[in-house]
Amino acid sequence: MKMKLKKGDQVQVVSGKDKGKTGQIVEVLASMNQVLIDGVGTVKRHTKGVGGQSGRIIERSRPINASNVMFIDPSTKKPTRIGRSVVDGKTVRIAKKSGTTLK
């Protein structure tokens, strides 16, 4: 099944510990049905010091399941679902709430 979300889409998290946060999709992991969102779903990783360096704490984003995010409609700035429609022989994405064609 092809994912409806793409890299660069503005999305809002609708469930989980980061519920309500918004961000831009950095990477789409279609095989696992997950998306990586900039600044959302961050976890702290403690690393051990190697070769005389001291240990540190690295904060990085983890993938979120695509079912836990919703696309933000550019015209209404509200979460919406994405549909597909045929326009001039090409399949395009459309926002369900406003009906506008997406890039």
Q: Report yes or no: 44 and 12 within 8 Å, Cβ to Cβ.
A: no
Question: What pLDDT does residue 1 have?
Answer: 60
How many other CB atoms are there within 10 angstroms of residue 9's CB atom?
21
The tokens 């509200």 sit on which residue? 78
Is residue 52 within 8 Å of 31, Cβ to Cβ? no
The residue-averaged pLDDT of 35-44 equals 94
pLDDT tens string 48-96: 999 999 999 999 999 999 999 999 999 999 999 999 999 999 999 999 9
pLDDT at 30: 94
Structure tokens at 93: 């994405």
All structural domains of the chain: 10-47+57-95 (2.30.30.30)
Task: Give percent above pLDDT 70 in the chain.
Answer: 99
Average pLDDT, the chain: 93
How far is 49 from 28, CA to CA, in rounded Å?
32
Q: What is the pTM of this model?
A: 0.81
Determine the pLDDT at residue 99.
87
* pLDDT confidence bin for 12, thresholds 50/70/90: very high
Q: What is the model's pLDDT at position 68?
A: 96
